[in-house]
Each structure stands twice: as C-alpha cells, then as structure tokens.
Structure 1
Amino acid sequence: MNKRKEILILGLALFSMFFGAGNLLFPPSLGVAVGQSWLMAGIGFFITGVGLPLLGILAFTKGGSLEEFASKISKKFNTIYLTTLILVIGPLFAIPRTGSTTFEMGILPLIGGMDPKIMAILTSIIFFGLTLFLVLNESKVTDVLGKFLTPIILIILAFITFFGIINPIGEPVTSVIEGSQFSYGFINGYQTMDALASVLFGVIIVKGLEGKGVTDSKEQKVFLTGAGFIAAIGLGLIYFSLIYLGAQISSIKNLSTAQTALMVAELTLGSSGKMAFGICVAAACLTTSVGLTALVSDWFSKLTNMSYKTVAIVTCLFSAILAVAGLDYIISLAVPVLVILYPVTIVLIVLNIFGVENKNSFAFSTIVTLIISILEVLKFDLSFIPLASSGFAWIIPAIVAFLIGKTMKNRACVN
C-alpha cells in the first residue's frame, strides 16, 4: 500500500464528504455580520466547521461504533441521541434546507415577474418528487452529478476568490455583532451541521480503512490525521475566502442568506457568474437531499416497523412542506436545537477520543452539558458561570462534572 497516496485519497474523500451547498451559504453571511472582525470570527467558524467534524471521525479510531458512542450513559440515551442527530440533519432542518436553497439560489433569480410563493411551492414539489424517485430507484445519477458538480463549484469559487482579492468588491465595516466575534463565528459554524454528520460518517470511514488492512487504532489515527490536514486546508481556504468576501460587502444590509452568497458571486463574476453559481449549488443540493433521505429512511426503517419506502415518502412530504417556508426561517428554527445539540456532541466526541472508561464521568459531563445548554436556550441567567458571556457556559460545568465522576466508582451501565 502506498501510504501517501492512500492518505491523499482519503483526504479528498473527507473534503467531498463535508463540502456541500450549506458550506457555501453561511460563511458570506458571517462575513457581512462581523465586517472588520472577519478573521477572528473565521477562526471560530473554522473550529466548528472543520475541526470538530474531523475530531468526530477520529473518535471512532478507538474501535467504537454507533451503538457504543454514548452507551456508557445508557443504550436508551444513545438511541435517542442518534435519532435526534438524524432528525436534525434530516427532515427537521437539513433536508428542507436543500429544497429552499435550490429555490432561492437556482430558481428565484430566473423567474422574473412570476409569483415567488407559487414558484416556491412548485419547486418544492418537483425537487422532493425527484429526490423520492432517486432514493427509491437507487439511481447513480446523484453520484455522477456529485463528481461533476463539486469540481465545477470549486472552479467557480476559485474565480470568485481571485477576482474578489485582486479587485475588492467593497470595504469591511465595523461589526454589528456585540460581544465576542470568535464565539459568534464558533456558534455560526453549528449551521454547517458537519460535526453532527461526522458522528454518523465516522464508522464508515474507519471501516473503510479496516477493509484496506489498516486495523490498528494508532495507524488509523495517522491516516485520518494526514487526511484531515488535507481536508482542513481545502475547507479552510473556502471558508476564510468566503467570509472575507462577505466582509467586503458588510455595508450592505438586510440581505437573506442566499442573497448574500449570490451577491458575492455577481459582484465578482457578473450576472452570468451569479447564475452559474446558483444553478450549480442548487443541483448540488439534490445530491445532498438524496443522500440524507436515504440515511433517514434506512435508520427509521430499522428502528420502527415502517418500511424504507414509507419513511422516504413521509420524509420527502414533510421536507417539501417545510422548504416552502424559506431558507432563513429554517435556519432560525435550527438555532436553538443546534445550541443544545452541539455542546453535547462536542463533549461526547472528546470523551470518545480520549477513551474515557469511567461511566460516571462520561454520564455526568454529558448530562450537565445538556442541562446547561437547555437553560441557555430558555434564556436563564447563567452569567455567574465562567465563559457564559462568550456563549460557552457549558464548558466549566462539564469539566467539574467530569472530575466529580472520576472520584466515584464506575456504576453499571443502564439500558
């Protein structure tokens, strides 16, 4: 086995796994919000948008599995946690988001004087009808589209970045965001949902390595660390470029998330560039929608008595209805859920990476993080907790809970 070649291939695979339409939408909007503070916010976004997903995959090099990821708390908790993850990256937020993004970036700029609401409904029906057809017929169309679309989008992004740097499209202004710009970027990185997806992808990647004969956990870490650097460099360049370009138009306010990305494309490449970018992103949304719908259908068909086909139909119907509400509305709905789910996921990833065996430490730190995150969403005053003002009220309580658990004997795992 050529180790360097395999690491390069794995790095490109990791990049493709985490690179999607959603990753192109949020960096420009972040740049608009933070303006001159784009670099500090970008670092925060990079940690949650790139660092955490890679750590999520590394967490499985300890020989773990989805069935064991949070089972030290209880098997029931593990099932509920994973089901919540799949709902979040499925019909609750991520799948409807692909439909609304398709309309706002690929269709809306082309419809002229037509009624946007009617066109949004028609687009949603066609988009999720096609999604359902491809999911149920196991078509390879989405694989082919993915192989062609990703390079095309990357080429367009390269042109956007090049022209945006050599010929700035504006001047960054003072941030409209109060408080820590780093934590604002960090929390905005939640919207990529990549760290949540990495928990589900981690087993697949590790099993792929095992299929190639890489079974030792230390050797797996070497492969994944090297591949991680490759993926991180690619994603990092995209994120920082788009955040910087967004900062250049930070004087323009009241743009939607999709409008911001299209504005950057238009100001750098002109109207034809904007149209090409929007259509490519919309098409990429289809491949994402098909993949996520298949994942949801597979999970719930195993968890319940419903058939794969029934779950797929229900998922597409629900997603089609929610997609019509619009991209920014779906994003606003996702925020409180992600503020609760992400800290818990971060704690679970760290505990798994370090191979924590003490069940009390595992359970206490996770449950305390969950409680603090829920209280934060409910707007309880947590200002007495260190780091609360920066949006990280859960960190110190989680550490304290972990240490308390260390002083106690291992309890029996509750099923």
Structure 2
Amino acid sequence: MNKKKEILILGFALFSMFFGAGNLLFPPSVGVAVGKDWFEAGLGFFLTGIGLPLLGILAFTKVGSLDEFANKVSNKFNTIYSTILILVIGPLFAIPRTGSTTFEMGVLPLFPNSNPTIIAVLTSVIFFGVTLFLVLNESSITDILGKFLTPIILLILSLITILGITSDLGTPVDSIINGNPFSYGFVSGYQTMDALASVLFGVIIIRGLEGKGVTDTNEQKSFLSNAGFIAAIGLGFIYLSLIYLGAQISSIKGLTTAQTTLTLAELTLGNIGKIAFGICVAAACLTTSVGLVALASEWFSKLFKISYKKIALGICIFSTILSVAGLDYIISLSVPVLVILYPVTIVLILLNIFGIKNHFTFKSVVAVTLIISIAEMLKVDLSFIPLANHGFPWVIPALIAFGISFTFKTEKLTLKKNA
C-alpha cells in the first residue's frame, strides 16, 4: 500500500463528505453580518466548521461505532441521542434544506419573473421525487455527480475568490451583531452541521481503513490526522475566502442567506456565472439529499421495524412540504435545536477522544451541559456564569462537573484499595 497516496485519497474523500451547500451558504452570511470583524468571526467559524468535525472523526478511533458513542451515559441515552442526531441532519433540517437551497440558488434565478410559490412547490416535488427514485434504485448517478461537481464548484469558487479579491466589491462596514464576533462565528458554524455529521462519517472512514487492512488504532489515527489536514486546507480555503468576500459586501442590506452567495457569484462572474454556480450547487444538493435520506431510512427502518422503502417515502414527503417554507425559515427552526445538540456533541467527542472510561463522569458532564444548553435555548438569564456573555455558558459548568466527578471516582477507588 502506498501510504501517501492513500492519505491523499482519504483526504479528498473526507473533504467531499463534509463539502455541501451549507459550506457555501453560511460563511458569506457571517462575513456580511460582522463586516470589519470578519477575521475574528472566521476563527470562531473555523473551530466549529473544521476543528470539531475532524475531532469527531478521530473520536471514532476510540469507540468504533455509533452504538458506542454515548453509551457510557446509558444505552437508552445513546439511542435517543443518535435518533435526534439523525433527525437533525436528516428530515427535520438538513434534507429539507437541500430542497430549499436548490430552489433559491438553482431554480429561482432561471425564472425571476415567475410566481415564486408555484416554482418552489414544483421544484420541491421534482427534487424529492428524483431523490426518492435514486434512493430506492441505488443509482450510481449520485457518485458520478459528486465526482464531477465538487471539482467544478471548487473551480468556480476559486474564480470568485480571485476575482473578488482583485476587484473592488466594496468596503466592510461595522458589525451589525450584538455580541462577540468570535462567538458569533463559532455558533454560526453549527449551521454547517459538519460536527454532527462527523459522528456518522467516522464509522464509514474506520470501516474503509479496516477494509484496506489498516486495523491498528495508532495507524488509523495517523491516516486520519494527515487526511484531516488535507481536508482542513480545502475547507479553510472556502471558509476564509467566503467570509472575507461576504465582509466586502456587508454594506448591502436585506440579503437572504442564499442571495448573499449568489450576489458574490454575480458580482464576480456576471449573470451567466451566477446561474451556472446555482445549478452546480443544486446538483450537489441532490447528492447530499440522496445520501442523507438513505442514511436516515436505514436507521429508522432498524429502529421501528418498518420497511426501508416506506421510511424513505415518508421522509421525502415530509421534506417536500418543509422545504417549501424556505431556506431562512428552516435555518431559524434549526437554531434552538443546534444550541442544545452541539454542546452535548462537543463534550461527547472530547470525552471519547481522551479515552475517559468513567461512566459517572460521562453522565455528570453530559447532564450539566444538557441542562445549561436547554436553559440557554429557553433564554434563561445565565449572565452570572463565566463566558456566558461570550456565548459559551456551558463550558465552565461542564469543566467543573468533569473535575468533581473525576475526583470523586479517584477518591472512591483509593478508599476501596485502602479497605
């Protein structure tokens, strides 16, 4: 085995797994919102958009399967957590978002004078009809689309970046957000949902390495860390470029999430470039939709003992209805859930990476993080907690819970030995 070649292939595979419409939609919107503070916000976005997904992948070198990821809290919690995780990156938010993005970035620019509601309904029905067909027939079309579309979109992004940097798009204005730009970028990175997806991607990567004979944990870490660096370079290039370019047009008010990216494409490439970019993103959304519907259908088919086809049909019908509501509406619905789910996922990733075996520590840290995150979602005043005003009220309580539970377990073991 040529290790360097395999690492390069794995790096591209990791990049393509994480790369989706969300990676294109949210960075420019962050840049528009923070204006002059784009670099500080970009650092925060990097942590949740790049750092956490890579840590999530590495966590699977420790646990090996989704069934083991949160079972140290309890088996029931692991099932509930995994189910919510798949709902969030599946039919509740991520799958309908692919349909809405297709309409707003791929179809609407082609029919600017048509009734948007009618076009949205037709687009959604056709999009998820094609999704269902591909899911049920296990077509290789999505593989072909993915292999060709990712390089095309990267080429277009490179052109947008080069032309955007070398031309005068505008001047960044003062931030319109209330709060710290770093924490704003950090929380905005939740919307990519890549850290949540990494929990599932980890299984695929580890199995792939084992299939090639890489079974040693340390060797798997070596492959993943090096490949992760390659994927991080690609994602970092996209994020930094789009956040910077978004800041350049921050004086333009009233842009929706999809309109921001399309505006950048139009300002740099003209109408033809904007439309071509929108079509590429729409096709990329199709590959994402097919993969997520298949993943969710498999999980819920096993969980509820209902046929895979019936679950896939139900997911596509539900996603068709929700996607018509619009991209920004779906994003607004997802924010409260992500405010709860992301901190819990972060602490689970870290506990697994550091190889914590103590079940009491898992339960304590996750419980405290969950309680604080729910309180934050409910807008409870948490300003008395350090870092709360920066958007991280759960960090210090989680660290305290870790310290107390870890110390308690150590003292308990010492007493048993002395006895």
Q: What residue number does 2:254 align with? A: 254
Q: What residue number does 1:91 align with? A: 91
* Offset of residue 168 of structure 1: 2.8
Instruction: Confirm or deny: 8 A CA contact 1:256 1:328 kept in the other structure.
Output: yes
Q: Return the alpha-carbon distance in structure 2 between the equivalents of residues 299 and 5 of structure 1.
A: 33
Q: What residue number does 2:292 align with? A: 292
Classify the secondary structure of the residue corresponding to 2:408.
coil
Written as runs of structure 1 = structure 2, the 5 A alignment for 1:20-169 is 20-169=20-169
* Offset of residue 4 of structure 1: 1.3
TM-score under structure 1 normalisation?
Answer: 0.98
Q: Return the alpha-carbon distance in structure 2 between the equivalents of residues 10 and 298 of structure 1.
A: 25
* Offset of residue 63 of structure 1: 4.4
Instruction: Confirm or deny: 8 A CA contact 1:63 1:217 kept in the other structure.
Output: no
Q: Return the alpha-carbon distance in structure 2 between the equivalents of residues 357 and 333 of structure 1.
A: 35
One-letter amino acid matched to 1:27:
P
1:390 paired with 2:390, answer yes
Cα deviation, 1:189-243, whole Å, max 9, x if unaligned, reads: 0000000000011111112112222212111111111111110011000100000
Give the gaps of 5 or more residues in structure 2. Answer: 413-419
Q: Return the alpha-carbon distance in structure 2 between the equivalents of residues 80 and 109 of structure 1.
A: 41
One-letter amino acid matched to 2:4:
R
Q: What residue number does 1:267 align with? A: 267
Q: Return the alpha-carbon distance in structure 1 between the equivalents of residues 357 and 252 of structure 2.
A: 51
Q: Return the alpha-carbon distance in structure 1 between the equivalents of residues 311 and 339 of structure 2.
A: 27
* Offset of residue 408 of structure 1: 3.1
Q: Return the alpha-carbon distance in structure 1 between the equivalents of residues 19 and 298 of structure 2.
A: 23
One-letter amino acid matched to 1:337:
V
Instruction: Confirm or deny: 8 A CA contact 1:360 1:408 kept in the other structure.
Output: no
One-letter amino acid matched to 2:326:
G
CA-atom RMSD, angstroms? 1.1
* Offset of residue 405 of structure 1: 1.2
Q: Return the alpha-carbon distance in structure 1 between the equivalents of residues 203 and 140 of structure 2.
A: 23
One-letter amino acid matched to 2:350:
V
Cα deviation, 1:37-68, whole Å, max 9, x if unaligned, reads: 10110110011011100000000112432111
* Offset of residue 311 of structure 1: 0.3
One-letter amino acid matched to 2:405:
G
79-88 or 60-69: bigger deviation: 60-69
Written as runs of structure 1 = structure 2, the 5 A alignment for 1:168-247 is 168-247=168-247
* Offset of residue 367 of structure 1: 1.0
Cα deviation, 1:272-311, whole Å, max 9, x if unaligned, reads: 1101101100111011000000001000000012100000
One-letter amino acid matched to 2:378:
L
Q: What residue number does 1:366 align with? A: 366
One-letter amino acid matched to 1:132:
L
Q: Return the alpha-carbon distance in structure 2 between the equivalents of residues 209 and 187 of structure 1.
A: 32
Q: Return the alpha-carbon distance in structure 2 between the equivalents of residues 89 and 373 of structure 1.
A: 19
Post-superposition, which runs of at least 4 consecutive aligned residues in structure 1 deviate over 4 A? none
Q: What residue number does 1:6 align with? A: 6
Q: Return the alpha-carbon distance in structure 2 between the equivalents of residues 150 and 82 of structure 1.
A: 29
Instruction: Confirm or deny: 8 A CA contact 2:372 2:394 kept in the other structure.
Output: yes
Cα deviation, 1:132-165, whole Å, max 9, x if unaligned, reads: 1110111111111111111110110010000001
Q: Return the alpha-carbon distance in structure 2 between the equivalents of residues 283 and 64 of structure 1.
A: 32
* Offset of residue 85 of structure 1: 0.4
* Offset of residue 400 of structure 1: 0.8
Q: Return the alpha-carbon distance in structure 2 between the equivalents of residues 54 and 15 of structure 1.
A: 11
Number of aligned residue pairs: 411
Q: What residue number does 1:338 align with? A: 338
Classify the secondary structure of the residue corresponding to 1:408.
helix
Instruction: Confirm or deny: 8 A CA contact 2:63 2:352 kept in the other structure.
Output: no
* Offset of residue 266 of structure 1: 0.3
TM-score under structure 2 normalisation?
Answer: 0.97
Instruction: Confirm or deny: 8 A CA contact 2:146 2:284 kept in the other structure.
Output: yes
One-letter amino acid matched to 2:271:
S
Q: What residue number does 1:304 align with? A: 304
Cα deviation, 1:58-95, whole Å, max 9, x if unaligned, reads: 00112432111100110000000000000000000000
264-273 or 170-179: bigger deviation: 170-179
Classify the secondary structure of the residue corresponding to 1:407.
helix
* Offset of residue 111 of structure 1: 1.1
* Offset of residue 178 of structure 1: 2.1
One-letter amino acid matched to 1:382:
L
One-letter amino acid matched to 1:45:
F
Q: Return the alpha-carbon distance in structure 2 between the equivalents of residues 238 and 311 of structure 1.
A: 35
Classify the secondary structure of the residue corresponding to 1:72.
coil
Q: Return the alpha-carbon distance in structure 2 between the equivalents of residues 409 and 175 of structure 1.
A: 47
In structure 2, the CA distance between the partners of 1:96 and 1:259, relative to structure 1 (3 Å rule), is same
